[in-house]
Amino acid sequence: MQPYFLPYLGYFALLKHTDLFILFDTPQYIRHGWIERNRILSLKGEPIYIKVPLVKHKRDAVINHILINNSLQWKQKIYAQLQHYKKKAPYYNNTILLLDRIFEDEYYDITSLNAKALTIISEYLEISTPIKIWSKMDVEIEAANHPDEWALNICKAIDAKTYYNPIGGKDFFNKEKYTNDNVVLKFLEIEPISYKQFSNEFEPFLSIIDVLMFVDKKSIMEMLTQIKLID
């Protein structure tokens, strides 16, 4: 998976149910994705973005070349955007402590920040899956002729027998390619689970930060087990 910034619960379910998780940081960075931003709730219960500002870069820059604009006080801004959770979120203090651990270091590139955030939150949720950064693994693979072959070629290079992908990407993959190379392709779908937020209308697919604010650790760990694996 590409290295997302404080991603939604399903990303952590994928982490929990795999033996090795690779942050694929060498494809081209695409604007308006989830690399440097995610969604939380406003006090009115409407989705808003928390973002990490980026240094201007070339249009064809790859993810691991994307730098953070540390001339801006982005950490302080994110803390300020979360301040209203203190009024109604029972686990506000615990969540802020996790962010403190993430933000205590200085980061110069977005991949390093996202890797550290994923590691710290995974440890809190007792997810032990190793997280590796693809550009630092020094593994040679075959060139991909189509976008769905990157994962296949990585699996072949590291002798992985099964590849899990979120259910949203099911139509993206040609399963026959994987079968022909003896790699089992499965899609993970997390059960839709609602929890109490600011209002009675539940807003799904928010950053893990929102879940951590409103749900106790034990319950989140239980949520992560409620999945389906689809061929």
* pLDDT tens-place string over residues 56-72: 999 999 999 999 999 99
Residue 54 has pLDDT above 90, yes or no: yes
What average pLDDT does the segment 18-31 reach?
A: 96
183 falls in which pLDDT band (50, 70, 90)?
A: very high
CA–CA gap between residue 7 and residue 13 (Å, rounded)? 11
Structure tokens, 57? 């870069």
* The pLDDT of residue 49: 98
Q: How far apart are CA 86 and CA 63, in angstroms?
A: 34
CA proximity to 23, closest of 119, 132, 156, 117: 132
Quick check: 18 pLDDT over 90? yes
For the four alpha carbons of 191, 166, 66 and 105, in that order, the dihedral sign comes to: positive
Q: Are 69 and 54 in contact (CB under 8 A)?
A: yes
| pLDDT at 200 (0 to 100) | 79
| pTM attached to this predicted model | 0.95
The C-alpha atoms of residue 129 and residue 140 are separated, in whole angstroms, by 23
Exposure pattern of 22-45 as b/e (b: 16+ CB <10 Å)?
bbbbeeebeeeebbbbbbbbeeee
129-152 pLDDT, tens digit per residue, is: 999 999 999 999 999 999 999 999
- Domain limits, the chain: 9-230
Instruction: Indicate whether 156 pLDDT > 90.
Output: yes
Mean pLDDT calculated for residue range 98-122: 98
**Residue holding tokens 């953070």?**
68
Region 74-103: what's the mean pLDDT? 97
Which residue's structure tokens are 């390093």?
Answer: 112
Pairing of strands 131-133, 21-23: parallel
pLDDT in tens, 192-211: 889 999 987 899 999 999 99
Amino acid identity of residue 140, one-letter, is: E
pLDDT of residue 114 exceeding 90: yes
Cα angle: 214, vertex 216, 221; to 5 degrees: 115
Q: How far is CA 108 from the centre of its chain?
A: 19
Give the bridge partners for 49, in sequence order.
Answer: 39
pLDDT of residue 192: 85
Mean predicted lDDT score pLDDT of the chain: 96
